[in-house]
Amino acid sequence: MARRAFITGSCGLIGSEVAVYFSKNGFKIYGVDNNQRAVFFGPEGDTSWTLRRLRAEIPDYQHFNLDIRDRAGILALVAEVKPDVIIHTAAQPSHDRAAAIPFDDFDTNAVGTLNLLEAARRACPEAPFVHMSTNKVYGDLPNTIPLRELETRWDYADPQYEHGIPETFSIDQSKHSIFGASKVASDVMVQEYGRYFGMPTCCLRGGCLTGPNHSGVELHGFLSYLVRCNIEGREYKIYGYKGKQVRDNIHSEDVARFMHAFYESPRCGEVYNIGGGKENSCSILEAFQIVQEFTGKPQKYTYLEQNRIGDHICYYSDLRKMKSHYPKWSITRTLRDTIREIVESWEERLGKQAAKAGIEG
């Protein structure tokens, strides 16, 4: 019998990539997603195109239009499926959006995660449980590291952080945003189910996770949204820091590959920072440059002096712990490869939309 992968947020960027990847590796996929992204972000966040893609690409894909806040529903479904691995990627993922919807944010990110952990403990405590956490658990503390200003980006001036932010960095006593705080709650709970109950859990504290399958919107999915703006000739808004704020970007398939490595060799209550690392980091100004090279179109933008609350000025992940625990894992897509794929995907999706509008109009 095929091994069973239970994936929440299966129509999102990471969930869909993980579903395809685990399916190719012999798993039967049970996906949970109620298209809440369209509720959080409106029609542009709609992920129903991804559900159609999953059904086409994964022949025996089984979908559950279930809300992870539905405790009874989640307990019953996990007990019925008895998964061999749980990958939890469903979330309210935007720190700006969270302030307007704190109950929805906390109920989804913190309580929804607890529902899944407890469901796993009751039905399949030996199944590896991988939780997508975020670098926002560090709050704005990374902004206290001394920086140096380069021509197109900020960088750490303290040699202690030459490889990036390690997992030992404090998550305490800083401003996280409402989203960051709800993710701290889930991150700590996932660790606790590992440490207290001995379950094979891990938190992956993501930098910028990206790829061609993102439904990027202004409030979430920086590179995907930036590329879309470029192709459509829309204005991209830069919020503060001179546009030199640095993000490390990792292709969603490299995230899926790490999750699979963890499944094969799980540990209890672990925490990893996962991102593109220094090599795949870029500032917004540098991202404009690369995207323009691929599309040949100038990037329109406006600059607003006020930065986003709690936004990191410079953040890239120290990947050394991941690499030491899982030496066979490495990044396979460079930043340029990833941006090229995003450009191609948006050109295709927007081309199809335009063609459809042409036929209908």
Interface contacts to ligand NAD, rule CB under 6 A: 9, 11-15, 32-37, 47, 67-69, 89-91, 93, 108, 112, 132, 134, 206, 208-209, 221
**DSSP β-ladder status, 281-283 and 246-251:** antiparallel
- What is the smallest separation between the CB atom of 361 and ligand NAD, expressed in angstroms? 29
CB of 360 to ligand NAD, least distance (A): 26
The nearer residue to ligand NAD, 128 or 221, going by C-beta atoms, is: 221
**Rounded distance, CA 135 to CA 167, Å?**
10
Provide, rounded to whole angstroms, the least separation between the CB of residue 343 and ligand NAD: 18
Q: How far is the CB of 53 from ligand NAD (least distance, A)?
A: 12
Closest to ligand NAD by CB, 41 or 241: 41
Kindly write down the DSSP assignment for every residue of 101-141, as one continuous string: -HHHHHIIIIIHHHHHHHHHHHH-TTS-EEEEEEGGGGTTG
CA distances from 168 to 58, 125, 161, 205, 313 (A): 39, 27, 12, 12, 19
Yes or no: say if 87 and 266 are a contact pair by the CB < 8 Å rule.
no
- State in angstroms the smallest separation of the CB of 91 from ligand NAD: 3
For residues 182 and 186, give the distance between their C-alpha atoms in angstroms, rounded to a whole number. Answer: 7
User: What is the distance between the alpha carbons of residues 235 and 354, in angstroms, rounded to a whole number?
Assistant: 19
Nearer of residues 12 and 243 to ligand NAD, judged by Cβ: 12
311 Cβ partners below 8 Å, 6+ apart? Answer: 140, 239, 240, 241, 245
Dist CA 45 CA 228 (whole Å): 13
Kindly state the smallest distance separating residue 90's Cβ from ligand NAD, in Å: 4
CB neighbours of residue 111 within 10 Å: 18
- β partners of residue 8: 32, 88
Indicate the residue among 209 and 231 with the shorter CB distance to ligand NAD. 209
Of 140 and 360, the one with the shorter C-beta distance to ligand NAD is 140
Distances (CA, A) of 286 to 129, 235, 333: 36, 16, 18
CB of 173 to ligand NAD, least distance (A): 21
Instruction: Give whichever of 89 and 177 is closer to ligand NAD, judged by the CB atom.
Output: 89
Cβ closer to ligand NAD: 157 or 318?
318
CB of 221 to ligand NAD, least distance (A): 6
- For the chain, the first-to-last Cα distance in angstroms comes to 50
Select the residue whose beta carbon is closest to ligand NAD and give its number.
Answer: 12
Q: 37 or 251, CB closer to ligand NAD?
A: 37
